[in-house]
Chains A and B, each alone.
Chain A
Amino acid sequence: MKVTRRQFLKVTGATAAAMAVTDLGFNMNATASAIKELRIKNVTPTPTVCPYCASGCGLVVYAQKDSAGKFQKLLSVHGDPDNPINIGGACSKGAAMFNLREIYDPQTGEQIINPKRVQKPLYRAPGTDKWVEKDWDWMLDTIAERIKETRDSSFIHTEKLADGNDVIVNRTEKIASLGGSGLDNEECYLLSKMMRSLGLVYLETQARI
């Protein structure tokens, strides 16, 4: 259909006016306020892939940006019509991708950031019953220290084999890592490399469960 909004409304208005007299006996006007402006007009969507079931359906993200190209807010997220797996389709989960970041407030109808998203690193000290906000540097440095403490105090460098020879085993059994099936390949790769180089053997992902 190659009809602009203006043309369409014009035609509609004219016909409706005629019909109002001759046919139904009441006014038929598709008013401008009844038909909203297409809010993704001239917005270039960004393709991504659904993070759920592994079918690999493509999705497109429509976002509002300011004149400098800086991201402002989401407009809509829906199925990618170019992706041959889903050709634009999206089930309830895929269609709800907008909510992963933003929601419409049920009280006001306003578009807000999903209030469940955590926006700052959080720390819970032993024995306490609350989270405390911390900055990234403190968090990452402290985690690196904990890793070192635990690894170094539990590290097994060599073991004796049944034949009496020593073999280097370079492992710690005191640190474990779970998960990764929700990560991207490149992230999984870094995780695998980092954990194995630290000597972890308790390394598991959701594939096992």
Chain B
Amino acid sequence: MANLTNLYDVSKCTACRGCQIACKDWNQLPASIEPFKGNYQTHEDTDGDTFTIIKFFETEDPVTGVNWSFIKHQCMHCFEPACMMACPKGAYTKTETGATVHDPDKCIGCQYCTYACPFEIPKYRKREDKISKCTLCVDRTVEGLTPACARTCPTGALTFGDRDELLQKAEDRAKYLRENGYPNATIYGKLELGGLNKLYVLTDTPDKFGLPVDPHIPKNISAWQNVVQPYFGWLIPLMLGASAVSFVTTRLLANKHGGHGEHEEGGHE
């Protein structure tokens, strides 16, 4: 099956944030209310109950004047997901339509994926002691429905469909924008990290929207996942030189001894 994805066109987004709420409605997520700190973007980042946010960027150019740009931020559903490589329990899987889904039943809350993701997407949900993130609404898309975010987008900034078709649309749109006042317009997600199952049309270079220009997976992770994980998944955190080591290790070992760990045998239904 073809990859099904979202195309997000920043030039059509009004930052109404319908997508942010529709995501909560569909995924049954509580609000996470934080005080206003002087920015419309009240969530600095996604969190365990907030799978997507609109980021706001205010800039000024001596010639073109003030500019306020918005970008939707959520899981990129990478073709080669770092979270999946890093997960010691095989909680992450790819669907055939290209969504990276996380299985809370397998998750042990070790949070290693949160350190691996180049977009810092997986978030820890304390309430359940699990990771959570955008699912690209696979429960909807398997039934032929559009993801909640794309479905609610009032202006058509966010659309959903076959990735190849959307990629063509994105290329055309970027070309149009380059010829009509946005000389730096480009697309994002085509090639980054070997391809993302999220596509963007940008009116300027990716850095202007807080996107990593050249995202990459930490080398150790990509190396380890080929060698270590299939055999000694639980060792991964031991090899990680990050502050989270002991926490993660404890989690993993506790889980192992607790006997909750499932072996990655797959093949449900």
Contact = CB atoms under 8 A, between A and B. Distances in A.
A and B directly contacting (CB within 8 A): yes
B102 interface: yes
Contacts of B20: 92
B98 to A, nearest CB: 11
A30 B101 contact: yes
Interface in A74-122: 76-79, 81, 86, 88-92, 94-96, 98, 103-109, 111
A35 B30 contact: no
Contact of B25 (A3, A88, A98): A98
Contacts of A175: none
B92 to A, nearest CB: 9
Max count, chain B CB within 10 A of own CB: residue among A1, A57, A109: A1
B16 interface: yes
Contact of B32 (A79, A86, A106): A106
A41 interface: yes
Contacts of B230: 25-26
Interface in A57-82: 57, 76-79, 81
Given A8-B96, A78-B22, A109 B30 contact: yes
A79 B269 contact: no
A6 interface: yes
B269 A10 contact: yes
Contacts of B141: 1
B138 interface: yes
A209 interface: no
A17 B267 contact: yes
Contact of B151 (A10, A88, A106): A88
A15 interface: yes
A153 interface: no
Q: Give chain A's interface secondary structure class.
A: loop
Interface in B217-269: 225-226, 229-230, 264, 266-269
Interface stretch (B142-150, B165-173, B199-207): B142-150
Contacts of B17: 91-92
A110 B102 CA distance: 21
Nearest to A97: B25
A78 B148 contact: yes
A101 B90 CA distance: 38
Contacts of B16: 91-92
B84 interface: yes
B25 A78 contact: yes
B268 A32 contact: yes
A144 interface: no
A26 B152 contact: no
Given A26-B229, A95-B21, A108-B127, A1 B144 contact: yes
A27 B230 CA distance: 9
B179 interface: no
A109 to B, nearest CB: 6
Given A8-B142, A28-B93, A103 B30 contact: yes
Contacts of B10: none
Contact of A29 (B145, B225, B266): B266
B230 to A, nearest CB: 7
A11 interface: yes
Contacts of A31: 93, 103, 105-106, 266, 268
B22 to A, nearest CB: 4
Contacts of B140: 38
A15 B18 contact: no
Interface string B72-106: 00000000100011000011011110010111111
A96 B153 CA distance: 13
Contact of B225 (A15, A25, A57): A25
Nearest to B146: A88
B44 interface: no
Given A41-B143, A94-B152, 16 more contacts: A4-B142, A11-B96, A17-B266, A34-B105, A37-B139, A76-B25, A88-B152, A90-B152, A90-B154, A91-B17, A91-B152, A92-B16, A92-B17, A92-B20, A104-B29, A107-B127
29 contacts: A2-B144, A3-B1, A8-B96, A9-B142, A10-B269, A11-B1, A13-B266, A16-B93, A16-B94, A17-B266, A19-B94, A26-B90, A26-B229, A27-B93, A30-B95, A30-B101, A31-B266, A33-B268, A35-B142, A39-B139, A57-B154, A78-B26, A88-B152, A89-B153, A90-B152, A91-B16, A92-B21, A95-B21, A104-B30
